[in-house]
Amino acid sequence: GENVEQHPSTLSVQEGDSAVIKCTYSDSASNYFPWYKQELGKGPQLIIDIRSNVGEKKDQRIAVTLNKTAKHFSLHITETQPEDSAVYFCAAGRVFQGGSEKLVFGKGTKLTVNP
């Protein structure tokens, strides 16, 4: 089955700096790679996702890149702000015409943005 590895487990940056979180996956059949942000006591919130037919996607300060050959995908946050502090999870799964199958999550990265 699918296995997702996520690094680093903790990341501390200064406000305004960039943050990068990296994930690898094992199942070449996976075609959907979402990123979730989870604040303390809350459920995961989708922040960006990418499908395997594109290599990069950007939404304001957040971007995700995907290397299908190497089975790597990364989250890039630019101009970080204190409110970006949270735990971030990558995940991998398969989507098809009628919906999506289960997601397999990484162990998470605790991001701290210091003012």
Partner 1 sequence: GAGVSQTPSNKVTEKGKYVELRCDPISGHTALYWYRQSLGQGPEFLIYFQGTGAADDSGLPNDRFFAVRPEGSVSTLKIQRTERGDSAVYLCASSPNRGGTQYFGPGTRLLVL
**Could you list the residues that contact partner 1 (CB under 8 A)?**
4, 6, 32, 34, 36, 41-46, 49, 89, 91, 93, 95-108
Phi, psi values for residue 95, rounded to 5° = -110, 150
The nearest distance, CB 15 to partner 1, in angstroms, is 26
Decide whether 78 or 110 has the Cβ nearer to partner 1.
110
Q: Which residues contact 86 (CB under 8 A, 6 or more apart)?
A: 37, 38, 39, 110, 111
Cβ neighbours of 98 (radius 10 Å): 5
Separation between Cα atoms, residue 59 and residue 26, nearest integer Å: 26
| Least gap, CB of 57 to partner 1 (angstroms) | 13
- Decide whether 9 or 18 has the Cβ nearer to partner 1: 9
Nearer to partner 1, 66 or 106 (CB): 106
- CA angle 77/85/63 to nearest 5° reads 15
When the beta carbons of 5 and 20 are compared against partner 1, the nearer one is: 5
Indicate the residue type of 45.
Answer: Q
Minimum separation from the CB atom of position 85 to partner 1 (A): 17
